[in-house]
Structure 1
Amino acid sequence: MSFSKLGLSAALLKAVEQQHFTTVYPIQQAAIPAILGGKDVLGIAKTGSGKTLSYALPVLQQQLHKPPAANRHIKALILVPTRELAVQVGEVFKQLSQYLPKPIKTMAVFGGVSINPQMMELQGVEVLVATPGRLLDLVSVKALHLDIVELLVLDEADKMLNLGFKDEMNKIFALLPPKRQNLLFSATLGKDIHTITELLLHNPIKIEIEEAEENIDLIQQLAYSVAEERKGPLLRYLIKQQNMQQVLVFTSSVHRADSVVEKLKINGIEAAALHSKKSQGTRTNNLNDFKAGVFRVLVATDLASRGIDIQFLPYVINYELPRSPKDYIHRIGRTGRAESPGTAIALISEEEEHHFKIIQKKMRKKVEIIDTASYDLKGF
Structure 2
Amino acid sequence: MSFTNLGLAPALFDVLAEKQYAKAYPIQQAAIPAILKGKDVLGIAATGSGKTASFVLPLLSNLQNNLVTKNRHVSVLVVVPTRELAVQVQKVFQTFSSGLPQKVKSMAVYGGVSVNPQMIALQGVNVLVATPGRLLELVESKAVHLSAVKTLVLDEADKMLNLGFKDEMNRIIALLPQKRQNLLFSATLNDDLDSITQVLLHQPEVIKIAPQKETPALINQVAYFVQEEKKGPLLRYLLKNNGWQQVLVFASSGFRADAIADKLIKNGIDAEAIHGKKSQWVRTEALRQFKAGEIQVLVSTDLLARGIDIEFLPCVINYELPRSPKDYIHRIGRTGRAESPGDAISLVTPDEEHHFKIIQKKMGRMVERIETEDLNLKGY
TM range (shorter): over 0.9
Once the two structures are overlaid, the 10-residue window that deviates more, 35-44 or 204-213, is: 204-213
1:358, distance to aligned residue in structure 2 (A): 2.8
Report the 3-state secondary structure (helix = DSSP H, G, I; strand = E; otherwise coil) of the residue aligned with 1:375. Answer: coil
Q: Which amino acid aligns with 1:319?
A: Y
| Mapping of residues 51-130 of structure 1, within 5 Å | 51-130=51-130
1:20, distance to aligned residue in structure 2 (A): 2.4
Report the 3-state secondary structure (helix = DSSP H, G, I; strand = E; otherwise coil) of the residue aligned with 1:229. Answer: helix
Matched with 1:170 is 170
Structure 1: how far apart are the matches of 2:305 and 2:112?
16
Report the 3-state secondary structure (helix = DSSP H, G, I; strand = E; otherwise coil) of the residue aligned with 2:216. Answer: helix
TM-score of the superposed pair, with normalisation by structure 2: 0.95
Structure 1: how far apart are the matches of 2:250 and 2:240?
18
Report the 3-state secondary structure (helix = DSSP H, G, I; strand = E; otherwise coil) of the residue aligned with 1:336. Answer: coil
For the Cα contact (< 8 Å) 1:77–1:130, is it kept in 2? yes
Matched with 2:22 is 22
Q: Which amino acid aligns with 2:271?
A: A
Structure 1: how far apart are the matches of 2:38 and 2:113?
35
Once the two structures are overlaid, the 10-residue window that deviates more, 296-305 or 184-193, is: 184-193
For the Cα contact (< 8 Å) 1:84–1:306, is it kept in 2? no
TM-score of the superposed pair, with normalisation by structure 1: 0.95
Matched with 1:255 is 255
Closer/same/farther in 2, CA of residues 364 and 202 from structure 1, 3 Å limit: closer
For the Cα contact (< 8 Å) 1:274–1:305, is it kept in 2? no
Report the 3-state secondary structure (helix = DSSP H, G, I; strand = E; otherwise coil) of the residue aligned with 2:302. Answer: coil
Once the two structures are overlaid, the 10-residue window that deviates more, 113-122 or 274-283, is: 274-283
Structure 2: how far apart are the matches of 1:47 and 1:216?
8
| Mapping of residues 267-282 of structure 1, within 5 Å | 267-282=267-282
| 5+ residue gaps, structure 2 | none
| Mapping of residues 252-331 of structure 1, within 5 Å | 252-331=252-331
Once the two structures are overlaid, the 10-residue window that deviates more, 256-265 or 346-355, is: 346-355
Report the 3-state secondary structure (helix = DSSP H, G, I; strand = E; otherwise coil) of the residue aligned with 1:48. Answer: coil
Q: Which amino acid aligns with 1:292?
A: A
CA RMSD, Structure 1 to Structure 2 (Å): 1.8
Structure 1: how far apart are the matches of 2:136 and 2:213?
40
Structure 2: how far apart are the matches of 1:250 and 1:102?
42
For the Cα contact (< 8 Å) 2:156–2:306, is it kept in 1? no
| Aligned residue pair count | 380
Structure 2: how far apart are the matches of 1:366 and 1:184?
30
Structure 2: how far apart are the matches of 1:371 and 1:190?
34
Structure 2: how far apart are the matches of 1:125 and 1:222?
46
Report the 3-state secondary structure (helix = DSSP H, G, I; strand = E; otherwise coil) of the residue aligned with 2:252. Answer: coil
1:25, distance to aligned residue in structure 2 (A): 1.7
Closer/same/farther in 2, CA of residues 211 and 287 from structure 1, 3 Å limit: farther
Q: Which amino acid aligns with 1:128?
A: L
For the Cα contact (< 8 Å) 2:67–2:126, is it kept in 1? no
Structure 2: how far apart are the matches of 1:201 and 1:366?
35
Structure 1: how far apart are the matches of 2:47 and 2:303?
14
Structure 2: how far apart are the matches of 1:215 and 1:20?
26
Once the two structures are overlaid, the 10-residue window that deviates more, 181-190 or 107-116, is: 181-190
